[in-house]
Structure 1
Amino acid sequence: MEYEAHQYQAAAKDLASAIRLNSSLYSPFLFLGLDELRLDRPKEALPYLQKAEKLNGSDPQPLLALGRAEVSLKDYAEATNAYRKALLLDPENGRAWFDAGMAYLSNLEKDSRTLAEITPPSGYSKALFAESLAEQRRYVEAATQYVGALDVQPQPPCLHSALGFVYLRQGKASEAMEQFQSEKKLYPECNSPYLGMAEIDFAASRQNEGLQELEQSWSGDPGYTTSNLSPMLEMLSADQREELASAVAARKIQVDGQSRDFLDALLRQLREKDSRAENRGSRETVPSQSPSVQRGKALAAYQGGHYRECARWIGSSAGQHPSAELLLAAKCSYMTGDYLAATTAARLAGAKLPADPEVLYWSIRADQRLAVEALERFQSIAPDSPQTHLLLGDMDRQRHHYDEAISEYKLALDEAPNDPAALHGLTSAYLFDGKIEDAVKTATAALSLNPNDPELNLLFGEALVAQRKYQEAEAPLQKSLSGKPQLLPQAHALLGQVYAGLGRVPEAIANLKLGLDADEDGSFHYQLARLYRQTGDTGAAAAAMEQAKSLAQEHRARAVIAVQEAPQSADQ
């Protein structure tokens, strides 16, 4: 009765008494763990929920609660493990897929921050940045970053192919072919050049030649091929896809065995509305060998482009291996499309090498894929839920499609009017779309529900600064200083503008200096230069002005690139 009446403190006492009387009862442990969670005591909840899971391993509830507790404790790796176990018991649980996806995203964000703090930037961080730019269709910038990553050692595998695909997206087939040929010559373990050359062949209606390239990749590793067909197929027009499907059907008559398996897999992806295919590496055991023999066979398999075989030779005993072998397991598992095994191996390696760029790289990439898979599964189960509209809104906002983002956030809020994430997203979309008054109104409503949220306060303060309401902006911006470290430069820069507007020059200078990392167009340096002049510090003013001009020039160059790429993005 107390539990149903939300009297969690009283319920907790009664449940603790029940456990003392009989420690084998499942329900008291479960509900006591849930009570601790509701009382915002996740650390205290863990032992009760773990005991409940041991007492009843067929109920997903303890595992789902364990996931939430681990998220509250910022142990996202353990959270995803709990959600995965729950999903084995209840694979149609949409909320579990959503929570798992968000936990994977939180873990990769955590790893990304760690990687970004490593200096000097590694080839792994440069490659991830290039990949991020390519996903945003900022291909000119992505190509520049990939070229830079190729100049740094160590680096991730198959970067020439990654650069080649970026050139393809820009319509530079000859430059792309150069990169694919270089990859084949320099790094024969990479199967990616075959996919790139196949895309060039299919675009030129050379279906048979393209199919031969894909068969070459498939013979190396079927998992890699099926996991990476999607981007290539999505670039083909409807007519080209139909031509390819006809060529595949005709070729199937002429072949058998492994080639027929490949053609069947390709035909399935061509005919599916969503051409992405989920792959999980097989778990076959290998003959027992000495560790040195297994290491040698795994490395030989990788060098031959047989990634699944490589992962199999390291096998389920990966936790017993040195970090170098765990990294090889992560790399091979990822490349064969077994992202769950990849993230497991990367986490085991991370326990031994907590700030290693290569470990972080494979962990980030695997978690990114797993997050996408989980959130797509959630969308398929609950296509019209508030969380689905929230996800779509976030994606539209990140692509700068603000009108679409606003519509999605409003749909989410129609179903869940006080959802903090939807209110946050709507505020942000309004702000970046220049709808300042709407941003202020939405932020005000959101802050009435959660007045101390640092990110909301930052958005609110930024909107007030845009309205030149400096006195009102100071308080929310001060609250935003308790937020994530990566947001602090922006908060300080805005506070600098506030204090400058209020005539509090020393405080303005101090905060603007702390916010210079957020200066993308030189405006903060320019304002700092003006403030230095007011104090008579002409040397500092000149230096700040010089930096402002340099940043402004870089900003204009990026704007030119964006304009050049805009028509291409629209076509795609």
Structure 2
Amino acid sequence: MLVGISYEAIRAGNTFAPAMKALAFLLVIGMVWETEEAAIAPASEVIVLLQEGKVQQALPLLKDFMKAHPRSPEGHRYYGLALERERAFQESAAEFRAALALNPNDPETLYDLGVALARSGDVKGAILALRAAARQRPRWAGPHIQLGKLYAQTGDTTQALAEAQAAVTTDPNSAEAHNSLGVALRQSGDSEGAVREFRRAVSIDANSLPAIKNLAQAMQGESDWEAAVEWNRWLTALEPTSGAAHANLGYVLMRADQLRESLGELREAVKLSPSLAPAHFYLAEALARAGESAAAIPEYEQASRLDPKDAQYHLKLGVALSQSRPQDAINELRRSIQLDPNDVAAHRALGVLLSRTGDLKGSSLESQKARELALAAERHSEAVVHIKTAGQELKKNNVRRAIDESRLALAAEPDSPQANLLLGIALSAQRDWTEARKAFMLALQNKPSDPEILFNFGVFLGRQGDFEGAAREFRSVLDVRPYDLRAHCLLASALAHLGDAAGSNRELDVARELGPCVVLGR
């Protein structure tokens, strides 16, 4: 096995040359044993092409090498990585499998296979491959990091957090692992914990772009514009030719009321990346704030042309045009509403403009719609606050408080499936089975295929001894999410209670491949 090669860099298209030098060594050594010296030339040509990023030209030559040396595991592996660069994920996975057939005890290739399968849409296969890689190399954080990302993409925030925590436990000095944990914590609603992990990642690696970007975003989310400016300056120093970096710095400078510097950064962003829609949009916003309304309009128009499906761009363009070109402004506002029918500001602006242009009936309808949407948005925001608090109280085992917060959320938004789910969990913790069942049923009524609701309802039924019902719900979870470890584990438990030993063992076998399984006792 070769040492010191960054396969992640190969996959990302970064620092491809060092890995190709290693490939040169591999191919040359193989040919020394199997061919004459003259046969080394094609390998050198492959390396040059790959170093230049000419992967399509290199692939046929690498394929020819594999025909001559079909039993080279590393050859198959590098061929797979090259195919992955071309987004040929299924073909890439086939090469990784060929490498594993020749050398099954290779955690790196299992990892590569997992990534390729994930990108091809085979989530369960990806999880199995990454789990196998983690078993073969227990002290490697990489598989856990990828598993966390994979679970997060599928909406399983609980398992995503568990994998991110496992990555940090496996390698406490990995900046990538701490950044991954920060992302998982942010997705689970723990913004304070997320910032702590992002800072830890940067303390380990001061040039960790993902962690610095996440810190910048976190500061923006908290409206801490001075801190956001600081982190975005750091990013711009690390990526001086990135239009996106300058655009983000320009935006936070604008929000920090540093307009002069903001305009400079945003003009630089447009210069570096003229096709970057947000750069033009932020520049328009900064110009408007600076009182240069006429200069802002072309930038709003360019942003809308570059990204015609962004409702906000059309809204702001419509508002900017309202004085000089009212009919064009009306058209832009209508486009914005088509893209986002629930935008209060767009309906309100259109109502005002229609009134000014004499369409009183249309104005009345838009104004009424704006009021209705504003009231619904206010109620939803109130419900979100109570739902977040209810979830936090449940984690602290403050069941009574969780019940109160869930009911306050439902008072604001009676059909909220998340509020009903949390209420059902809290009531079942108090063994109020009748009311808990009602809450679960209401949650399912509004979101019948939600795997989290189905799973928790299955747990509820199992706690009552209704193992047939529990098995039904866990199977429903697996219909939606066939790789759900918890559902396989608890389905095995339910089947065992029903006397189906064979079925229980089958589920346990699947669960063991997916990860550590803890089965609830009787």
TM above 0.5: no
TM-score by length of 1: 0.40
